[in-house]
Amino acid sequence: MRSNVLVKTLVSVTTAVGIAVGGLATAGTSVAATPPAQQPAVSADAVAPFAVVNLGLSSAQAKNVQRWLKTYYNYNGAIDGQLGTESWKAEQRFLKKYWNYTGAIDGIVGSGTVKALQRFLKAHYNYTGAIDGIAGSGTQAAFKRFANVI
């Protein structure tokens, strides 16, 4: 009786393995026969995440900044209250022209962008903190003052 159970188990396992191997063999040929779909080339800019950095501004205040950037610094994006990459590129053009921003015009709000913004805010909008590249509460408060008067 034991040998019958053992034989049935071995036959079942062998059958299952044979089906799996046969299935894999035909799957490989069917996949190989199908040409790969052509994917359009996508630039790195198209897949980069859209970063919004309002530095504490409300959407109404951010819209004020975007209108100012559109008027003076070639901002061509939507006036949507979201300071994204294009808004910050325009801001960087302004900071490069007048406030010693030396980085790339890339729309990334890094420490160099924040330092130049702090220099501007210190000169005109009562920022009293250090020029340290950290957009803390003092930087944000001065940025709000700027956004409320432009």
CA 46/CA 52 separation, integer angstroms: 16
pLDDT digits (tens, 9 = 90+) for 17-51: 344 444 444 444 444 444 445 544 433 344 344 57
Q: What confidence score (pLDDT) does residue 51 get?
A: 79
Q: Which residue type occupies 18?
A: G
**Residue located via tokens 């903190």:** 129
pLDDT digits (tens, 9 = 90+) for 101-136: 999 999 999 999 999 999 999 999 999 999 999 999
Please give the backbone phi and psi of residue 110, each rounded to the nearest 5 degrees, phi first: -100, -170
